[in-house]
Amino acid sequence: MDTYSVIPIRFTLNGDKVSIEAGAHETALTVIRERLSLKGTKEGCGMGECGACTILVDGKSVNACLMAAPQLEGRTVMTVEGLGREGKLHPLQEAFLEHHGVQCGFCTPGLLMSAQSLILETPRPTHKQVVEAISGNLCRCTGYQQIVDAIQYGADKTGGEE
Ligand code: FES
Ligand code: FES
């Protein structure tokens, strides 16, 4: 199969079944942002260093810019659009607002997804666990303390809610 083959992919995205054809050379980020128009997942570095593109794949945080689109086959994916519900923010999102964890907001979707991955595994994370969980997410604005506080507060509010 050559590098530019088109491959049918079926996966679950934010609770909906998705069926799409993607090039073997495409990334999950391209499919999600450009092909499926979910712009909440950001493209920063494009090389696995900033965390802006973080999504959940089967509940684990993944850099979508490093994941080949065909690897989405059969997986359950959540982007930031799947975190809240219509008209209701997820407790983590509320916590980011309440604790001033958002300034320009570019890093926020990725941070939320890293935080959600952590909380799914560890509903009451320690400060150290939060810091480790977001160590791959760069923020140029906040200094991180508000973000860490927001995640711990959001974890208390969710108790592991999906
Ligand atoms: S855009 Fe994926 S890690 Fe930076
Ligand atoms: S809030 Fe601006 S990069 Fe994090």
pLDDT (tens digit per residue) in 8-42: 999 999 999 999 999 989 999 999 999 999 999 99
b/e per residue 3-34 (b: at least 16 CB within 10 A): eeeebebebbbbeeebeeebbeebbbbbbbbe
Which residues touch 18 (CB under 8 Å, ≥6 apart)?
9, 10, 11, 12, 36
**pLDDT tens-digit map of 112-139:** 999 999 999 999 999 999 999 999 999 9
Cβ(156) to ligand 1 under 6 A?
A: no
Q: Which CATH number fits domain 3-82: 3.50.50.60, 3.40.640.10, 3.30.70.520, 3.10.20.30?
A: 3.10.20.30
- For a substitution probing ligand 2, which of 80, 106, 147 has the most ligand atoms within 8 Å of its CB? 106
Model-level pTM? 0.94
Asked if 3-82 and 91-157 have one fold, the answer is no
Q: Which CATH number fits domain 91-157: 3.40.50.2300, 1.10.150.120, 3.30.70.520, 1.10.1760.20?
A: 1.10.150.120
